[in-house]
Amino acid sequence: MFSITVKNIIKTYNGVKAVDDVSFDVKKGELFGLIGPDGAGKTSLFRILTTLLLADSGTAEVEGHDVVKEYQTIRNKVGYMPGKFSLYQDLTVDENLKFFAAIFETSIEENYDLIKDIYEQIKPFSKRRAGKLSGGMKQKLALCCALIHKPEVLFLDEPTTGVDVVSRKEFWDMLAKLKEQNITILVSTPYMDEARLCDRIALMQNGKIMSVDQPENIVNSFPKLLFAVKSKNIYPLLEALRTDKDVESCYAFGEYLHLTLNEDGKLQAVIDIASRYHPEDLEILEITPTIEDSFIRLMHEQKEVNHGK
């Protein structure tokens, strides 16, 4: 059974298609990621699915309920953590929790198991106003409030944006635990490295889904051999390689350059090409692509399709 089904959703703002004919399904209990930069259409989709925004056309269901006709039913079944902190800044941590519990006609105690791990981290600040919490604590409180009524589906819009590596890791650990409770989670993120923590992902750009699959399938469907190149003075090498006639693409990836050739060749072919530019301490290896490699490749394909029109 599907927890979320999205069919041909289109949403336009002032003539700009924020969501452009998007369709996908999320299975019950799945941790599904919408991966893409700002402006990809992620937030609009979240707002449509949480019944806060009407699509221009297309249909969507959450737990079998239509987002337009049965919006009230859906609101009782979902938890939503928007990208922007949206709790009451002037209420304390406890007051916020009690408020959300009261609205959903439940209590903190009733589903305490679900929020226990997270709640215990913010408990020392229970009398502090939400507005005075640190970023990481606000995030944890928001997650608690979104979970307080034991939702069947959890919507998390960019929960880790602007958050440091340590807190991001903690947050994903929390999601893994929630997944064990069979809660369906739809999460969005601009960080490509978080994609591999999801069961399935949709790569989004300019309102469109470029690919939907398991992260490893997306990576495996990369159509070319990919090489990592490293040398001293890497920047001049990058500039040289990306204009080389035999090089199809060349991008900086941390300390390496990732490179594909117009015609797939063995490692030696790449060594020959790179050697044209006399790099020092040249190191080249064939590598498995990352989601970011796939994303860049799909962006190029999308552009070519658009130019074709």
Partner 1 sequence: MENKAIICRDLTKQFGDFKAVDSISFDVDQGEIFGFLGANGAGKTTAMRILCGLSYPTSGTALVAGFNVYKQQEQIKKNIGYMSQKFSLYDNLTILENIEFYGGVYGVSRKDIKTRSTELVSTLGLENEAKKLVGSLPLGWKQKLAFSVAVFHRPKIVFLDEPTGGVDPITRRQFWDMIYQAAADGITVFVTTHYMDEAEYCNRISVMVDGRVEAMDTPSNLKKKFNTHSMDDVFYELARGAKRSGD
Of 121, 98, 122, the closest CA to residue 108 belongs to 98
- Which range of residues in 5-13, 30-38, 149-157, 264-272 is near partner 1 by CB under 8 A? 30-38
Q: Which residue, 40 or 101, is less far from partner 1 as judged by CB?
A: 40
Between the alpha carbon of residue 194 and those of residues 143, 226, 290, the distances in Å are: 18, 21, 11
Q: Which residues pair with 204 in a beta bridge?
A: 209
Q: Report the 3 state secondary structure along 128-146.
A: CEHHHCCHHHHHHHHHHHH
Is 228 a residue that touches partner 1 (CB under 8 A)? no
73 binds partner 1 (CB under 8 A): no
Helix (H/G/I), strand (E/B), else coil: 282: coil
- Of residues 134 and 181, the one with the C-beta less far from partner 1: 134
The residue among 69 and 131 lying less far from partner 1, judged by its C-beta, is 131
φ, ψ of residue 103 to 5 degrees: the values are -60, -40
88 sits near partner 1 (criterion: CB under 8 A): no
Q: How far is the CB of 265 from partner 1 (least distance, A)?
A: 24
3-state class of 171 per DSSP?
Answer: helix
**12 interacts with partner 1 by CB under 8 A:** no
| Identified binder of partner 1 from the candidate list 123, 135, 233, 276, rule CB under 8 A | 135
Question: Does residue 158 sit in helix, strand or coil?
Answer: coil
Q: Pick the closest to residue 215 from 289, 296, 287 (CA basis).
A: 289
User: Do the beta carbons of residue 9 and residue 45 sit within 8 Å?
Assistant: yes
Q: Which is nearer to partner 1, 271 or 296 (CB)?
A: 296
Residue 163 binds to partner 1 (criterion: CB under 8 A): yes
| Sole binder of partner 1 in the list 110, 253, 265, 269 (CB under 8 A) | 253
Stretch of 159-167, 180-188, 260-268, 277-285 lying at the interface with partner 1 (CB under 8 A): 159-167
Q: Does 137 bind partner 1 (CB under 8 A)?
A: yes
Residue from 88, 222, 251, 277 binding partner 1 (CB under 8 A): 251
At position 40, the amino acid (one-letter code) is A
Which structure tokens are listed for 111? 């589903």
Is 285 one of the binding residues for partner 1 (CB under 8 A)? no
C-alpha distances (whole Å) from 290 to each of 133, 222, 264 are: 35, 9, 18
Query: Which listed residue (245, 254, 308, 309) binds partner 1 by CB under 8 A?
Result: 254
Taking the complex as a whole, how short is the minimal distance between the CB of residue 293 and partner 1, in angstroms?
9
Which residue from 161, 220, 275, 288 is in contact with partner 1, where contact means CB under 8 A?
Answer: 161
Taking the C-alpha atoms of residue 28 and residue 181, their distance in angstroms, rounded to an integer, is 11
Segment 32-61, which members bind partner 1 (CB under 8 A)?
36-40
Q: Is 228 exposed, middle or buried (0-12, 13-18, 19+ CB in 10 A)?
A: middle
Using CB under 8 A as the binding rule, whether residue 86 contacts partner 1 is answered as no
- Residues near partner 1 (CB under 8 A) are 36-40, 134-137, 161-167, 169, 190-193, 205, 235, 251-255, 292, 295-296, 299
